[in-house]
Structure 1
Amino acid sequence: MGHRWRRYTTAGAVLLAAASAPLAQADRADPFAGSPGLGDPYYPLDGNGGYNAQHYDVTVDYDPPTHQLTGSTRVDAVATQPLRVFDLDYSGPPISQVRVNDQPAQFDSTGEHELAITPLLPLLPGLPFQVRVDYAGPVTGTDGEGWVFSPSGGAFVAGEPHSASTWYPLNDSPLNKATFTVHATVPQEWEVMSNGVRVRDVVQGANRTVDWEMRQPVAGYLTTIAVEHFDFLEQRRANGMPLLSGFAPDAVKDKEIESRLPEVLDFQEALYGPYPFDAGGGIYVDTDLKFSLETQSRPIYAPWTDMDTLVHEITHQWWGDSMSVHYWADVCLNECFASYTADYLWPERKEGKDVDGMYRDTVAKYRDDPKFWQIPLQNPGAGREFTSVYYRGPLFLHALRRTIGDAAFFPAIHDFVTAHQYGNASMPEFRTFMQSRTPRALDGFFAAWLDREDRPSDDFLYPGSLRA
């Protein structure tokens, strides 16, 4: 350790000597520059190297009629290498100033979302630092990659894998999860919802200020803010946990579905262990949104929400939120499990459905359709990650269950997701873990279901009780 610290002290001297040189954009060959991405094969510029974000404190003032956003975000981080320049991911309104450790810093925006920051004094590894970014301007509505405008004039933020950078700067990768606080000020007739626990809701004059805290680590795309004329539903679980849900004006009809949230959480806990967050609920929008999204602790639900959607998004609180993917090629861990739980386990256990029969019917329908099988479940490819995991993922997990048996399957998936709580996991890790729970060789099964682009052979397609 002493050798390393002597080396860093020397590096600090080099950094100080170089810090006075103007740096509009980081030289990526510079050993004292944080990398502009974290190497995801699909999105190589997502996230940034050289530091770990620990906490985001986001203060925003949003005016619905003008879509004007005024923001100031503080990022608490720890340097993991000597840094004279590093990046944040940001694609929101224009920036007025950046400060690092309360000193003015140079900054430059490049590409779609790279904010290169050059602090006045270099940063040394192992030491905490703070970044404050101030910004203001109108936001632009999208169809699901950031801000979405509502019929009432309100707005919310949603999108996977990108959305957070449209309203605050961050290290935007599931590999760097952090705790999160938002302080939002809006005209007093509007309400604000976000992640975690609502800790303040105060009206002063013409304005309302609402504070939300997400006390467990969260990936950027799983954070949200929603400004709307909400009608609220407040519930509590048997253990006292608060469940707060909000409904846009034309979404109030969904209160009946959301009233079953305590039942759904109890069902999920029996499968995957204790609910991993301090609070729960839902944000029900009335915008023509093409997807619902598992925003952490409080999913966003599109107008077409039904019980299947509710169960699916709540499953994600374990598979995807508390335990997040390592890379986006691992997305089956999120969507295969959410789809299987909603499409098979809930109907089987709550409605008495014959899920083996459902499986056989689906396989029979698509058995000779090459398009159904052509996108692999593991590493489906950039732009294709949200495809086969929904329709073929449940079949894979049901076939795996019938291959190793319920006595091995259910304890194994429970143990896997709880072992990775608040962290990350990959599909290769999942394959290795499942093999450790059964004497039956799974290499051929996994290769057929996860790696290939054609239909598995009948041995793997009809294991156990699925044989005709």
Structure 2
Amino acid sequence: MRLSGLCGVVVAGVLVLAAPGVAQADPFLGAPGLGDPYYPLDGNGGYDVGHYEIGIDYDPPTRHLAGSARIEARATQALRAFNLDFDGPEVRMVTVNGLPAAWDRNGEHELTITPSVPLLPGLPFVALVDYAGPARDEMGAGWTISPSGGAFVAGEPHSAATWYPLNDTPLDKATFTLHTTVPAEWEVMSNGRRTRNEVRGDKRIVSWESKHPVLGYLTTVAIDRFSFLEQQRPDGTPLLSAFAPQAEDNRETERRLPEILDFAESLYGPYPFDAAGGIYVDAELEISLETQTRPIYAPWTDLETVVHEIAHQWWGDAVSVRQWSDICLNECFASYTADYLWGERKEGVDVDAQYREKVAKYLDDPKFWSIPLDNPGAGREFTSVYYRGPLFLHALRKQLGDEVFFGAVKEFLRAHAYGNASMLEFRTFVQSKSGTDLTGFLRAWLDTEEPPADEYLFPGALRV
């Protein structure tokens, strides 16, 4: 995610503690949360989702949203009840394995489902949820109404639960299929590859397929009177981008997408997905967001923003955080890519000088250093990672040397491809690539609330 105005239980095989304060007296109830340190009630215990198949029918004039979610999962414990995360329209019907199921909506976003027959550990199950009603406008935090009357979805760390039920946690990636029905004059964009675009009478039916696993907040749907830009990479990867009526000014920037993908690929290894593009909306969003394969771009988008969101396709999408306290893995790398590496590699910028100037400007500003990069704190996760994160990575690069640094980040991405990683894993990994002890360096840059000592602030060629 890039902000306006900045320069810069068992789930998926991982044992996760239940949310603090959540009673777990009944061993046959799936936990209503997974204990993320920032969002303890996000996600649900007791099962692992493999695939979502979502169908929605949306009418822009009335803002009526009707949906059907098919959730294919595997129970990881015996379950007489389990939860989904859902904050969308009224639920009309739920079935589990073809049998009617009871349900209850509770808390901020809990949908508790009680199957007719308890679920057995290790066995697959299918839950179907039908829902319908007025779609709320959750500007920048989910389902958002466009100026044209269309709609799109964007928001981090939450957004998906506003339009379909899911296990909303970074720990449970799943493949994703979307079928949409809208009035014929409207177009639909989403993640992955478009597999159907057909007009029948006064309706348009559009389907999208994501064959690589994706997190909830990285899924999107966008409905508008789009114009399109179709491009292709030399290897045949299709690049489909869309522009809302008042977003045409961004077309020339998006024409550089093949170049940007090649650039990011040279840094981080092969592009991890089978499609790419961008969705340019014209709502006054404060963010642009790295929705998988096809980011959502706000009207203020510039070239650096596109570079930032494309870097996220590696850092954040293909490799995702384990917990939201690990957010530096996403934003520090995306910001460094856009704010330093693009200028250095493509425009000849002296990034060592850029680094020294930034340090000199903020060295005596306590506020600049007051939020640590590793575990910045709930509600502060989208702050210092943008402006302090690139400095950390440039200092780390100088500490390790270019050959070791760039080789290490590629290797780290390969090792965690299509899965999750933590800051602790990253720290341990880079230490294994260094011939010197990095304990002091990493602590100074990642854990403290003050500028690093000179020996860590100006390593290698950065010493002045």
Shorter chain as normaliser: what TM range? over 0.9
| 2:91 partner letter | I
Counterpart for residue 366 of structure 1: 362
Q: 1:135 aligns with which of 120, 131, 135?
A: 131
CA distance in structure 2 between the partners assigned to 1:252 and 1:29 by the alignment: 56
Q: Which has the higher helix share?
A: 1
CA distance in structure 2 between the partners assigned to 1:276 and 1:405 by the alignment: 26
Count residues in correspondence.
443
Counterpart for residue 242 of structure 2: 246
Deviations 1:254-283 (A, max 9, x none): 110000000111111111111111100000
Q: Superposed, which structure 2 residues align to 1:37-116 within 5 Å?
A: 37-116=33-112
- The answer as to whether partners of 1:27 and 1:33 remain within 8 angstroms in 2 is no
Q: 1:150 aligns with which of 121, 125, 146?
A: 146
Shift of 1:27: 7.0
SS class of match (1:41): coil
Counterpart for residue 169 of structure 1: 165
Counterpart for residue 219 of structure 1: 215
| 1:77 partner letter | A
CA distance in structure 2 between the partners assigned to 1:58 and 1:27 by the alignment: 32
| 2:271 partner letter | Y
| 1:30 partner letter | D
SS class of match (1:441): coil
Q: Does 1:377 align with 2:382?
A: no
Q: Does 1:465 align with 2:456?
A: no
CA distance in structure 2 between the partners assigned to 1:78 and 1:150 by the alignment: 37
Q: 1:400 aligns with which of 391, 396, 404?
A: 396
Deviations 1:96-118 (A, max 9, x none): 11000010001000111110000
Shift of 1:143: 2.1
CA distance in structure 2 between the partners assigned to 1:453 and 1:34 by the alignment: 38
Q: Once superposed, what is the RMSD of the aligned Cα atoms?
A: 0.8
CA distance in structure 1 between the partners assigned to 2:417 and 2:403 by the alignment: 23
Q: Does 1:293 align with 2:293?
A: no
Q: Superposed, which structure 2 residues align to 1:294-333 within 5 Å?
A: 294-333=290-329
| 2:403 partner letter | A
Counterpart for residue 350 of structure 1: 346
SS class of match (1:249): coil
SS class of match (2:307): helix
SS class of match (2:288): coil
- The answer as to whether partners of 1:47 and 1:88 remain within 8 angstroms in 2 is yes
Q: Does 1:277 align with 2:267?
A: no
CA distance in structure 2 between the partners assigned to 1:416 and 1:346 by the alignment: 21
Counterpart for residue 410 of structure 2: 414
Q: Does 1 or 2 have the higher relative contact order (CA < 8 Å, sep 6+)?
A: 2
CA distance in structure 2 between the partners assigned to 1:76 and 1:427 by the alignment: 31
Q: Percent identity of the aligned residues?
A: 67
The unaligned stretches of length 5 or more in structure 1 are 1-25
CA distance in structure 1 between the partners assigned to 2:419 and 2:215 by the alignment: 10
Shift of 1:35: 0.6
Q: Does 1:208 align with 2:198?
A: no
Counterpart for residue 181 of structure 2: 185
Q: Which has the larger radius of gyration?
A: 1
Shift of 1:65: 0.8
SS class of match (1:35): coil
CA distance in structure 1 between the partners assigned to 2:400 and 2:194 by the alignment: 43
SS class of match (1:129): strand
Q: Does 1:443 align with 2:439?
A: yes
- The answer as to whether partners of 1:404 and 1:440 remain within 8 angstroms in 2 is no
CA distance in structure 2 between the partners assigned to 1:333 and 1:417 by the alignment: 11
SS class of match (2:246): helix
CA distance in structure 2 between the partners assigned to 1:163 and 1:312 by the alignment: 20
Q: 1:235 aligns with which of 185, 206, 231?
A: 231
Query: Which 4+ stretches in 1 moved above 4 angstroms?
Result: none
Q: 1:33 aligns with which of 29, 52, 60?
A: 29
Counterpart for residue 195 of structure 1: 191
Deviations 1:320-355 (A, max 9, x none): 000000000000000000000001111000000000
- The answer as to whether partners of 1:113 and 1:165 remain within 8 angstroms in 2 is yes
The unaligned stretches of length 5 or more in structure 2 are 1-21
